[in-house]
Each structure stands twice: as C-alpha cells, then as structure tokens.
Amino acid sequence: MPDYTEGISYRTGICALSGLGAGAAIGLVQGIRAARKNPRIAASTKLTLNMALNNAGHLSARVSGHMGALALAYSICKNVAANQRKVVDIKNDAIGLGGAVFLVNLAKGFRWAAVAGAATGAIAGFILKPLNDLARRKPI
C-alpha cells in the first residue's frame, strides 16, 4: 500500500498551486476589464494596474483555497476507499471523486449531496475504466 500522507500532501499542494496560478490569471483579466469600464480608473495606468492586481490577488486566494480543499477531500476519500477495500485500483479514484463531491455539496443538503456524489462517482467510473484498460493493454 502506498504512503497515504504523501499522496494527500502532494495532491493538495499541486491543486492549491494550480488554483493560485489559474485564479491569478483569471482575476487579472477580470480586473483589467472592470478597470476599463470605469472612465476615472481607465484614465490612469497606475489605477488600472492596481485594480487588476487587487482582483488577481483576491481571486487567486479564493480559487486556491477551493481547489486545495477539494483535493484534500478527494485524497482522504480515496485513501479510505483503498484502506477499506484492501485493493489499489481505479475504483478507488471513482469512489474518492464521488466522496469529495459529496463532502463539497453537503452544505446544500444531504439528499442533494448524496445524489451529486453518487452521480459523479458513477460517471468517473465509466470514464476511468476504459482509460485504465487502454493503459494496461499490452502491445502485440
């Protein structure tokens, strides 16, 4: 069995870092667009840049936090599935994704979260199974 804490740390860090970059890029574009709409800010390059960077900073922190939390929930659910099933295979990924979506949507209500988690896990299973089979197929 692989080291679980290493996978949790790796996935959470990679997703948080990716969210930081993606949020900053999207926030920068949104900040520039918002600055151009305001004639007083658009007249000054310093104010436009300030607004763009402020927006990038706020959005990057939010997106990074959300993606890191989702990766943490996915990693924990995947590790619990692997530990309970005593098998490391592609089904653990589908169970982990379904569990993460369940945990994220739990604030909307238990029934909604259960349906969303089950549907996401099933869809992930249907998508990941053929990909796993293709990756394991040996050339002739």
Give the model's pLDDT for residue 90. 84
Q: Where is 65: in which H helix or E strand?
A: helix 45-85
For 114-140, what is the mean pLDDT? 78
- pTM for this one? 0.76
**pLDDT interval class at 52 (50, 70, 90):** very high
pLDDT category at 123 given cuts 50, 70, 90 is: confident
What the block records as the tokens of 108 is 């909307």
Cα-Cα-Cα-Cα dihedral sign, residues 30, 31, 36, 37: positive
Can you tell me the mean pLDDT for 94-116? 86
Poorest-pLDDT segment among 45-59, 90-104, 119-133: 119-133
The stretch 96-125 carries a mean pLDDT of: 86
Give the C-alpha separation, 117 to 122, whole Å: 9
Q: How confident is the model at residue 21 (pLDDT cuts 50, 70, 90)?
A: very high
**Among candidates 35, 29, 60, which has minimal Cα distance to 48?**
35
Average pLDDT, the chain: 87
Q: Where in the chain are the domains?
A: 1-85, 89-140
Residue that is written with structure tokens 């990074």 in the block = 64
Which band of pLDDT confidence, cut at 50, 70 and 90, is reported for residue 28? Answer: very high
Q: What is the dihedral of CA 79, 83, 89, 91, to 10 degrees?
A: -70
